[in-house]
Structure 1
Amino acid sequence: MTGPPAAPRRRRWRGARTLSTRDKWVLAGLLGIPLLLDLAFVWIPALGSVLLSFTKWTGVGSISLQPCGSRPTLPGIPEPGCVYGVQNYNQAFTVYPDFWPAVLHNAIWLLVFIVLATPLGMLLAVIIDRGIRGSRIYQSVLFLPVMLSLALIGIIWELIYSPNYGLLNSIIGRTSNENLIDWLGDPNLNLWAILVEATWRQAGYVMVLYLAGLKALDPALREAALVDGANAWQSFWRVTFPVLKPINIVILVVTVIESLRAFDLVYISSKGNVLNGLELLSVLVTQNIVGETQRIGFGSTLGVVLLVISLVPISIFLYQVFRKEART
């Protein structure tokens, strides 16, 4: 006859390991150095831009805490930096002629990315995910524009769009002086021409993000949809696409940020001068801060407006992430 079952042995939890002095220094370095770099290159310049947006300063001399116009200046000598209040914002919204065209062009940039680049990247990801022959080669070729710098992409497309010896004009037969098309100089065409460059790159980026989501998808979901009689189109929209909701949120945030910070392609195509039809908020910020006028305060105002607009999708993304963690 067997005796009563033995009581389960209790696990002895060991106490937390005491960190040595060396471990503390290593931990402080791993946490402190990135934090200091983040403060030095991100948060402090951002806070400085917010403060400078309420001033009138050309970058020469010091900044006084007195209101602008409160003290006389000698003829020919510019007034030193002074507190301008919200006048920079008032001028940007009401007087500055390039502000609202720049906002419109950024909105068009975002719309093209959402309507054209994102569906194109999704389509390419679905095709490659089906395991077609040579899919890895196609994936590398389509992702190549993402690995190239935006400066190099701008140079490549400048050769394509060149009115005299460009590839595009040669293909359509516009090579004579009477019928040349200036793709980057025409205000009615230059924005759309550069959007083709940006879409070429953005589609490859979106493709990789969607491809990562498709690779992580449980194959049992697709098999269940096929068993239920769903065709490929129904299986994608009713099974695959809803599961990709986290990827969709990430792509939406990335798309908004990419459309707002668009700068390199426009700057290279315009050779440093803002052309008519290519006004963007990021370009106007650079033009006012490091351009000939050097209106540091006004340029900082445009930068703050761009920062506030950028925080909207970032806040939505963080809200979705934290809400999901709270549910789990």
Structure 2
Amino acid sequence: MSSPPTAPHRPGRLGTGDRLFLTAVIGIPVLALLVLVWLPALASVALSFTSWDGIDLGDIHWTGLDNYHQILTNYPPFWPAVRHNVIWLLFTALLPTPFGIFLAYQLDKKIRFTRIYQTAIFLPMVLSLAVVGFIWEIIYNPDTGLLNSVLGTAGAGHPVDWLGDPDLNLWAVLVASGWRHTGYIMILYLAGLKGFDPALKEAAALDGANGRQTFLRVVFQALKPVNIIILVVTVMESLRAFDIVYVLGGGVGSKPGMELLSLLITDNIIGESGHIGYGSALAVVLLLVSLAAIGTFLVQTFRKEEQ
């Protein structure tokens, strides 16, 4: 006689403790995201259409698109800041990023002491941008700095003021930022190379490809997802550049030659000018540009998953 069929096992319902745990684990981060990110972002959008000194709530006045009109008419210097952000992006994309990729490709060849080299190159990434700024501030000191001492201009009566000269200070900050960015890109690309099939390199070598051709036509093409991530990281790093410029520039108040969008936003929102509406409009512009970069990354990612 056959036994009666057993009922399918159904998972038990969550108990009260489990529900409280899930609520805390999911609810607290979501609440923090809403309070610390989305509410300030929405408030910035609303304030960008107003005029406010940041002190008395009764002094908030609706101005419409006046703040955005002032942005386009270059008051304060919006277009110089945009130009400097573009220079920052081009410099980072053309020098530290390719150099980091080159180092990753070379260190992936199992050379001797590769771990030591990786650690030494990645070490600046462990430091915050503020600490990196303090290190390079010592290097760039016109009287006792390492750079002027090496060049022989320290104490000679005509030291090079790397951070005070409007023609040099932006490039000096870019070198400091690139020093840190190179190690970051190297680690990202090394992670991608660890998942790369070495048989593809061997096949390319059998076809007569040299090292440069193998990298450009095989490795670089196969690591397209990593390339997209590096591109987005480079764009975002260029847009949100603030800490190191703030330290090397001496705090709030952009030095001539160091104007960036992030510094303009800070100067207008928490600086002495108190142009909260104008600073919020600048923040909205920067937010839109950042969302465009993030949107490009998400579109590429979802398209890859569909394929």
Q: Report what 1:46 is aligned to.
A: 41
Query: Is 1:264 matched up with 2:259?
Result: no
Structure 1: tracts of 5 or more residues without a match: 1-11, 64-79
Q: Report what 1:116 is aligned to.
A: 95
Structure 2: tracts of 5 or more residues without a match: 1-6
Deviates more, 1:52-61 or 1:231-240: 231-240
Measured after TM superposition, the shift of residue 228 of structure 1 is: 2.4
Task: Please give the alpha-carbon distance, in whole angstroms, between the structure 1 residues aligned to 2:258 and 2:199.
Answer: 49
Q: Report what 2:4 is aligned to.
A: none
One-letter identity of the residue aligned with 2:278: F
Task: Please give the alpha-carbon distance, in whole angstroms, between the structure 2 residues aligned to 1:181 and 1:251.
Answer: 34
Structure 1 residues 229-282: Cα deviation after superposition (integer angstroms, max 9, x where no partner) = 322222111111111100000011111010011011111112113110000000
Asked which structure has the greater CA Rg, the reply is 1
TM-score scaled by structure 2? 0.94
Q: Report what 2:23 is aligned to.
A: 28
What secondary structure, in the 3-state scheme, does the structure 1 residue paired with 2:22 have?
helix
TM-score scaled by structure 1? 0.89
Q: Report what 1:227 is aligned to.
A: 206
Query: Is 1:84 matched up with 2:63?
Result: yes
Task: Please give the alpha-carbon distance, in whole angstroms, between the structure 2 residues aligned to 1:288 and 1:48.
Answer: 16
CA RMSD of aligned residues (A): 1.7
Task: Please give the alpha-carbon distance, in whole angstroms, between the structure 2 residues aligned to 1:95 and 1:120.
Answer: 35
Question: Percent of pairs identical after alignment?
Answer: 55
* Equivalent of 2:52 in 37, 57, 80: 57
Query: Is 1:317 matched up with 2:300?
Result: no
Structure 1 residues 82-110: Cα deviation after superposition (integer angstroms, max 9, x where no partner) = 11111001011104041000000000000
Q: Residues 232-251 of structure 1: matches in 2 within 5 Å?
A: 232-251=211-230
Measured after TM superposition, the shift of residue 221 of structure 1 is: 1.4
Shift of the 52–164 alpha-carbon distance from structure 1 to 2, 3 Å rule, reads same
Q: Report what 1:293 is aligned to.
A: 273
What secondary structure, in the 3-state scheme, does the structure 2 residue paired with 1:137 have?
helix
Deviates more, 1:15-24 or 1:304-313: 15-24
What secondary structure, in the 3-state scheme, does the structure 1 residue paired with 2:95 have?
helix
Measured after TM superposition, the shift of residue 22 of structure 1 is: 2.2
Task: Please give the alpha-carbon distance, in whole angstroms, between the structure 1 residues aligned to 2:257 and 2:173.
Answer: 11
Deviates more, 1:268-277 or 1:134-143: 268-277
* Equivalent of 1:156 in 135, 147, 150: 135
Query: Is 1:107 matched up with 2:86?
Result: yes
Measured after TM superposition, the shift of residue 177 of structure 1 is: 4.9
One-letter identity of the residue aligned with 2:43: G
Q: Report what 2:163 is aligned to.
A: 184
Task: Please give the alpha-carbon distance, in whole angstroms, between the structure 2 residues aligned to 1:30 and 1:95.
Answer: 46
Measured after TM superposition, the shift of residue 18 of structure 1 is: 2.7
Q: Report what 2:105 is aligned to.
A: 126
Give the aligned length.
302
